[in-house]
Amino acid sequence: MVLEALLTTDRQCAEARGDQAALMKLVDQSPRTSNGLAKAMQEWEVSAGDLYPRLPEQLAEELVERQIKVEAGEVVDRSFDSLIDLCESLKKPAPTTLLQWKGRMKELRNICNVNDVTKVTEADARKYRDHQLKNCAPTTTRGRIKYLKALFTVAKEEGWIAVNPWDAIVLKRIRGTYKKKEVKQLDSVDKVVEQGVLQSNNELVYWICRLTGTHVSEAAGMLHQDIDLEKNVIHIRPNKLRPVKNQFRERALPITPKLRQKIEQLYTAGTKDKHINPGFYDEKQMRWGGKLLWQRALGITPKDCRDVAATTMRENNVNERTIGAILGHVPTNSTGIYGVVTMETMLEALSILG
């Protein structure tokens, strides 16, 4: 009786404040039964408005409908957080993708004042788009909408909603300007790095990126056991703080003579299952290498090393299957899935770099 009295008091307080979220949580604590509230309302001849006299009629009816579903054991939580949890369990996203999901949902919640997946309308989608276009570049707006559209696609597939409100947004109409990529040469940057402008661990990451074409997160997040000088191989594989995006990102790359020289000069072996550069991990963003700001010291970004690697190999007639295997790309056709690219082939291709 005490517990029931406390719940009743909490409900009356929440109702007086008009706190919809608190009321929903209280309703969700209803015990499971097949004929609880529905039967009582019928016997007492009361309406939702009689139960919640201080609330708007529509909200009162929503609360009653929700409680009846809770008592019947039906799933009623359609919040943004619940959708993210569902997508996380189904898709096993990379940490950066999960951060994007949470960030975009938080924006949608704040811009449109909604937190229920079933309540998001096409008008909300357009309102979100217009807000982003006022504050972001068109290409950024498109990218953010894509994240939300993908989340709501899962909600539709799981039967939460009948129509995806983001289908109303035609992305090709959001036109942005693209900066044409320029072919860069890193020979002059190599000379600057060799003058010691970077700290040793930072320089080691540079040479790994420069001479293998790996992502900066892959190079910065390596364990000591990933550098195998006995077999002359660098391993790109998942670890606790650095998953890989897909099965093709997990790979072994041969160490070229020039890279071996740099590793022997800059690398100090340590405990195998420990990270070489723990200081390069951004715990808040859950990503590696984000703090390596090369722009000021070198005039390039870490991604430039990857772009130059691909361009250099392509200009030297290295076939696309080999380039893809080195960079960890998903094959573009079924033929690329079969067979392997040998270490000798990759060593020959990587030797072109630098």
d(CA 354, CA 350): 9
pTM of the model: 0.64
Task: Tell which residue, 226, 236, 232, 228, has the closest CA to residue 275.
Answer: 226
What number of other Cβ atoms are within 10 A of residue 131's Cβ? 16
pLDDT digit string, tens, across residues 183-231: 678 999 999 999 989 888 899 999 999 999 999 999 999 999 999 999 9
Q: Give the mean pLDDT per block of 10 residues along the chain (354 residues).
A: 79 83 78 79 87 86 85 78 91 85 95 92 96 92 95 92 94 74 81 90 94 94 96 94 85 96 94 93 84 86 92 94 92 70 94 89
Q: Give the architecture-level CATH label for domain 187-350.
A: Orthogonal Bundle (1.10)
Q: Give start and end residues of each alpha helix (H) in the chain.
A: 2-17, 20-27, 37-44, 48-51, 57-71, 80-91, 95-112, 122-135, 138-157, 187-194, 200-212, 216-220, 257-266, 294-298, 302-315, 320-327, 343-350
DSSP one-letter code for 171: G
- CATH number, span 80-173: 1.10.150
Contacts of 293 (CB under 8 A, 6+ apart): none
Task: Tell which residue, 99, 148, 86, 141, has the closest CA to residue 122.
Answer: 148
Give the residue extent of every domain in the chain. 2-71, 80-173, 187-350
* Tokens at 208, concatenated: 């790994």
* Res 203: pLDDT: 94
Per cent of the chain over pLDDT 90 is: 53
* Res 96: pLDDT: 80
In 19-38, which positions are buried (b, 16+ CB within 10 angstroms) versus exposed (e)?
ebeebbebbeebeeeeebbb
d(CA 222, CA 137): 34
